Structure 1
Amino acid sequence: MSNLDLRPAPTSCGGEAAGGPVRDLLTGRQVRLGESTVVRRLLPSLGRRMVGAWCFVDHYGPDDIADEPGMQVPPHPHMGLQTVSWLHRGEVLHRDSLGSLQTVRPYELGLMTSGRAISHSEESPRPHARYLHGAQLWVALPDAHRHTAPAFEYHPELPLVTAPGLRATVILGTLDTATSPGTTHTPLVGADLALTEGASPALPLVPEFEYAVLAMTGRIDVDGVPVEPGSLLYLGCGRRQLPLRAHSDASVLLLGGAPFEERIVMWWNFIGRTTEEIAEARTAWTTGDRFGEVHGYAGARLAAPELPDLPLKPRGRER
């Protein structure tokens, strides 16, 4: 998925990671995506830039798109990151410059690793389901892997962790004893937690990781804090377990990982290390170089916005 902001600010991904447990509730800002989809952008925000290597979180829906085109995101480029498409309702048709063509459905993992360069589009199929609800996530690639060859993975079946009143689908990384088949390049975890009304599990965590929870549906307390759908609760580091209490059937996304130590810059759909890298990527996309071509999308590709006048300053994370 793309950042469609035509005037994207240079984002200094990083900032200080909390040294111990915190409860920092973040609400998203509304951003229009494509023709008719409005998302709640939760990362990056003024209050929090990253959670481990997770650097971008959009939550959308549930939207009634019966009489709408639904998601229509034209071809656009990426570098230096992975994208994770995660659905609760609806379908998204993925096309990319590798020739991939895949419909991603609820609780299936569509994972794209941009590496040095890739382009893709995402759209609701025609015909499509009435409702669309999901999240789009980005993972920053570390320096050792950010120039790797691009790749797309589709995993229709993912491992589960279960407990009374809890069904956890492991999207990426490892939760408890279950490990996702999705490729990762830093220590991290992403999991979809479905809880039944009245459930109050305590989820095992890694104290060296920092965590956040995105509420998707229902009424739930996370470590005693009510978290409404479309909100993100940042939890910091130093936790060995996470208490949850569902006041209705509910679902949340758990995102976590080792604090990302590298100094990086995120601008538009690129993650790099210097102004020159970002400018070169923008030129390559504008001139039709390096990022390849997406075939089959009925429409023009996205034009790159103008770079800001000031240099893009990379910043890091301190623990």
Structure 2
Amino acid sequence: MQTGEAHGRAAWRHVAQALALGLAGVLLGSAVIASRQSAAEGYWAVGYYRLLADALWQRFDGALPVAIPVALAAGALVAALRRGRKGPRLGPALALLALVGGLRGASALDAWLASRGPNLVIISIDTLRADRLGAYGYALPTSPTLDRLAAEGVLVEDVYSQSPKTTPSHMTLLTSLYPCVHGVELWWHDEPAHVLSPAVHTLAEVLKNAGYATVAFTGGGQVDRSRGFDQGFDRYSHGQELEKTLRWLDAHRRGKFFLFFHTYLVHDPYVHPLRWVHLFDAHYRGAVLDTVERLLTEDDGRGGPEAYSQDRHRRFWASVRQDDPADVEFVARLYDAGIRRMDEAVLAPLLGRLDALGLARDTLV
């Protein structure tokens, strides 16, 4: 999703206003020089010009706060030139006037971005392969919602992860630092976990300082808050809580927000409800299917039969005979089914809610 056309036009309007105010400063400075006023009088002109620009900008929108200073400055220059008194005595005043005009517009643009910047939504689908998506040429219909998003927005063809592991790559995403710099790298269960230093600035902190509400709904595990992933977030929730996410959006439709949503739904072990299990392979019968069906009926105490655990992971892969083409092909189709399941069960409702709330045009996804 992109910000709307109106959003873009407003941004360019403020850029144009900034440039126009800079022009007004140059014109007024030239008038001061042409009329050979004293340095003190020139700097008084700077002060009056700044007060006028501030007052107009605060009271009016559109072209008026720009047109009046430009017109007055141009008129002053014409009048001075007609008097024929020339001489570059006030070069510093001219430079300062031009700077005042430019900075007045630039500060207004910064304030506009802080107050009206787009919402930001980052959706992380753990272990998702680009070559299994229709947007990148995959033949099976695994990702209709994601494909539509790619068609309507910007499709990046080459992306390089800074790590093949979830923890360091996600911390890089949120800090824009290499893993060797942010220091939150992969760790083994018998080693102390690496935690992000509070001295490192995260994307959430930057946006929070700009007035954004910051929230994360994640699958936990390798992006657990204990590693410092919650730094800068007003709320950092573990668990794939789509309904809570949708309710949060309902309650924050009128304010700027940064939403980070992370899911392991595509991650192995590929244990899906039977509707998805047979989606792309209705003919396989073998040990992998038997294991999936058994795991579906069990509850390991971690939140339901689909929750991840080392035991479920081990049992799933133990059932796969890697020298059996039928097993390998079925596992590949289970992976594809997980993508389609994520696309329908997570991505479509999330993007649909943004659209239903009227947020889609002002949200970057």
Q: Compute the TM-score of the two structures, normalised by the length of structure 2.
A: 0.26
* Bigger helix share: 2
* Bigger strand share: 1
Larger Rg computed on CA atoms: 2
Q: Which has the higher contact order (CA 8 A, sep 6+)?
A: 1
Q: Compute the TM-score of the two structures, normalised by the length of structure 1.
A: 0.28
